Structure 1
């Protein structure tokens, strides 16, 4: 603390503690001085680096371009990119940030210079999670991160293991269909997001540790949905601590305090699961040979220094948050788009009837490859409504040049996947829902693997989503099961074009999709 400020504080506290107003003023004075001095330092650094970084919009003192970003940053940044170019710099408070808004720039960041951009710019909210520094999502592309990726690729998401556990996923689909049939018989309206979340939770739980995380019939399912939803929403919420790092210790918006409750609850549930499994492994109980057994085996083989219980818990937490949130959001958007486009819905149902038949047979993963139009519907949904419109922010680990522009070490870099997926340079009629664009004669080479940089809903390069293969299987099974044997209508006589298609940033639809199913009676199931 500067000497003058320190002296004034001591003088006020000792010599003039006469009023609360004087005391408050004296306590705030050093903080204001510190903030102003930091603002000047950051402004000086910004002016110095401005010549080096890619060009961008001129901002205001201290706050930079924050006012221009607003509540829908993916849309605002897309508009700014049209004026300032596909590689631009915006200043978010004290944080200069580079934004890539074209497929070519995405390729530069995620493929050509992927080693340089393996770092992550971690939101302050993440620090509320116990042992967050072990998370594969937020690790900085170091040795620990490489080891965790290898564990996922070799122990969890291999084709052999996914196929071995598909019977469990088929059972979950049977349960889903029965729930919809029951609702059809009673005329009950179904909250699609809640139904899909519960089923996705069961899918992930049974794939990872051969059991449900919680009782699907209890009220806890809604509690857990709210906790996961809270985590996803807060992580996408603007946080003053991310823009002005000096303010992090104060948590002015209470974001860390709020999100910590949800993280702690999820950790408690996973601790209980791990405890039960460890107890079973010390008894004569048969092995489950699921993800959890594979992770525990790896820990026993390599020792706690490399992979221990906390690593397992954080890894499972990452999978549940990423898997349940993204899957629920995507299926809800897909259903909304299909309901608003009856021609497309009819075409998808026709493909299912021809391939699967009209009986109450479980749709299996082997059927998915024979459903190209359904796959196109999913791709088009994720193009228009990516669950991570700005992906996760990368961070330069070293000084690097991108298209002639120097990007200094530690600079955050955003890839605007939303802007790329709606760019008329790559897509005809980009604002319309047209699954046919992914069919024969269209963009047939575009898949989920991030090799075509105009379509990267799961990311691309070394930091692509590790659960991509499982995620695509789950999405396909869920959507196919919901539309195969059921027609749907909105409650209270609403028309499908009245569905609110606004979305919260990176989370879900503005309003939940609630619809009434009707089981289609056919000769096959009469």
Structure 2
């Protein structure tokens, strides 16, 4: 996750250490020649940096281009770390199903260790009994179908607020990206904390946290150059951001310890985790740092990914009036003139679900899934993979693979009508939330957030672009980052449909 989002400016520093280049280059190519017969195809490497120079400004695209030349299972060397890059459904199935247990670990990365209390969260913790028990607790208590339904009122209230803003600005230009971002953040805050904490600037703190999470850390890939991270101030910045957010979370936990309950309100995530802390029968110690790490997981996994998925889905609908019209016909039939479409009616809208799936296919929330690591040596498709080899799955490239999809670059929701292909981790040509043991446990929570707001805003409003820009000319330029978001905000002019 952190290896692809910032420029490799450290190369200039590395080039100064000329006395070591020949030695390391010799070691590198000696290793390569010994292993060449049993390892997957690999592009040529440079001393010290390996293949980092080939990632460019858009790693997902650069990796797809390299895989077109070297194959869907390709070995890169990112610094001193051997890294498999997977770019097809067939290889993804081998990694995430056939050999899922063998590839279920996470690499040891410096920045997540600092930000997530020693990687004691679900996303970054190493595979083992601790991770299994923590994931089970979170899935059963925070992300079960029953728990997701319990927050329906929160979602519908926030949808109502969005509809109100659009109505108040009918005929005027509205920053839809900002509005969808606020909706996502507000729902997550209310679900996790019970309120939004506007006054404490939580959203700004979280943005700095996510930006730091996506920062390249030299020491994670070239350990003997880890001093660069200290000299550059990177580790100091990470500790400062962690301390700032930790102070905020301590305050939230204190608020929950002191609050008075009526017995009628829905418990938020902190309430639930505090109850688990007190339960001595579960056989698992959930300390306060782990509680805070889990809460951070909820926001990091949910905020940017849900928002970017919403933003792209809305952008594609506006750019494709035919699809928008067809979706509006469906939601109008289901809505029947009511003020709002309730959540229970989402199951009556197959075209809405197809639109969401198609947006997730073209705009995978996390284009390069979180890196896995081999727990032991594995024979993978005839190749010998050493222990501790990292694995990067290019979900963006797999979702656009012409071997799996007809007209893969086109936005065509109809491809999902009467199709069994889903995002639940059973169809490896479509991996917006990953699959296997390390698949995203919050996918149901995220999808309902996307579906309910999309259904209602297209039910209540038509949309035009400002300055008489034609729908087909909507700028769809992407910005590079951990998640792939629009480079420029989506500006629209809403008008009531009835």
Aligned CA RMSD, in angstroms, stands at: 2.6
Q: Write out aligned runs for 1:71-82 (5 A).
A: 71-82=57-68
Question: Residue 111 of structure 2 is aligned with which of 117, 125, 128?
Answer: 125
| Structure 2 equivalent of residue 323 of structure 1 | 302
**Is 1:148 matched with 2:123?**
no
Q: Whole-Å Cα distance in 2 between the matches of residues 163 and 107 of structure 1?
A: 31
Q: Whole-Å Cα distance in 1 between the matches of residues 399 and 218 of structure 2?
A: 29
Counterparts in 2 of 1:61 and 1:370: CA distance versus 1, 3 Å: same
| Structure 2 equivalent of residue 513 of structure 1 | 490
| Residue deviations 1:269-324 (CA, integer Å, cap 9, x gap) | 3322211111137x887774333222111111138971111111110011011111
Q: Write out aligned runs for 1:309-458 (5 A).
A: 309-361=288-340, 363-440=341-418, 444-458=419-433
Q: Whole-Å Cα distance in 1 between the matches of residues 374 and 125 of structure 2?
A: 13
**Is 1:213 matched with 2:196?**
yes
Q: CA deviation at 1:405?
A: 0.7
Q: CA deviation at 1:43?
A: 4.7
Q: Whole-Å Cα distance in 1 between the matches of residues 204 and 461 of structure 2?
A: 28
| Residue deviations 1:329-353 (CA, integer Å, cap 9, x gap) | 0111111111110111111111111
Which of the two has higher C-alpha Rg? 1
Question: Residue 492 of structure 1 is aligned with which of 467, 470, 473?
Answer: 467
- Give 5+ residue unaligned stretches, structure 2: 1-13
Stretch moving more, 164-173 or 31-40: 31-40
Q: CA deviation at 1:49?
A: 3.4
Stretch moving more, 169-178 or 375-384: 169-178
Counterparts in 2 of 1:170 and 1:508: CA distance versus 1, 3 Å: same
Q: Whole-Å Cα distance in 1 between the matches of residues 323 and 254 of structure 2?
A: 47
Is the Cα contact below 8 Å between 2:151 and 2:266 reproduced in 1?
no
Is the Cα contact below 8 Å between 1:169 and 1:207 reproduced in 2?
no
**Is 1:195 matched with 2:195?**
no
Q: Whole-Å Cα distance in 1 between the matches of residues 35 and 176 of structure 2?
A: 48
SS at match of 2:427: coil
Question: Residue 55 of structure 1 is aligned with which of 41, 46, 52?
Answer: 41
Is the Cα contact below 8 Å between 2:363 and 2:484 reproduced in 1?
no
Number of equivalences: 481
Q: CA deviation at 1:515?
A: 1.8
Stretch moving more, 115-124 or 34-43: 34-43
Q: CA deviation at 1:130?
A: 5.5
Q: Whole-Å Cα distance in 1 between the matches of residues 103 and 402 of structure 2?
A: 27
Q: Whole-Å Cα distance in 2 between the matches of residues 52 and 376 of structure 1?
A: 42
Q: Whole-Å Cα distance in 1 between the matches of residues 21 and 105 of structure 2?
A: 28
Is the Cα contact below 8 Å between 1:197 and 1:225 reproduced in 2?
no
Is the Cα contact below 8 Å between 1:239 and 1:253 reproduced in 2?
no
Runs of 4+ with >6 A deviation: 28-32, 283-287
Q: Whole-Å Cα distance in 1 between the matches of residues 457 and 265 of structure 2?
A: 33
Is the Cα contact below 8 Å between 1:325 and 1:507 reproduced in 2?
no
Counterparts in 2 of 1:289 and 1:231: CA distance versus 1, 3 Å: closer
Q: CA deviation at 1:112?
A: 0.7
Counterparts in 2 of 1:31 and 1:68: CA distance versus 1, 3 Å: closer
Higher relative contact order (CA 8 A, sep 6+): 2
Q: Whole-Å Cα distance in 1 between the matches of residues 113 and 129 of structure 2?
A: 21
Superposition TM-score, scaled by structure 2 size:
0.89
Q: CA deviation at 1:490?
A: 2.2
Q: Whole-Å Cα distance in 1 between the matches of residues 443 and 490 of structure 2?
A: 25
Counterparts in 2 of 1:235 and 1:291: CA distance versus 1, 3 Å: closer
**Is 1:501 matched with 2:476?**
yes
Question: Residue 179 of structure 1 is aligned with which of 158, 162, 165?
Answer: 165
SS at match of 1:318: helix
| Structure 1 equivalent of residue 455 of structure 2 | 480
| Structure 1 equivalent of residue 143 of structure 2 | 157
Q: CA deviation at 1:46?
A: 4.0
SS at match of 1:70: coil
Q: Whole-Å Cα distance in 2 between the matches of residues 266 and 29 of structure 1?
A: 36
| Structure 2 equivalent of residue 467 of structure 1 | 442
Q: Whole-Å Cα distance in 2 between the matches of residues 338 and 276 of structure 1?
A: 42
Q: Whole-Å Cα distance in 2 between the matches of residues 255 and 502 of structure 1?
A: 29
| Structure 2 equivalent of residue 67 of structure 1 | 53
Q: Whole-Å Cα distance in 2 between the matches of residues 373 and 458 of structure 1?
A: 20
Q: CA deviation at 1:150?
A: 0.5
Is the Cα contact below 8 Å between 1:213 and 1:269 reproduced in 2?
no
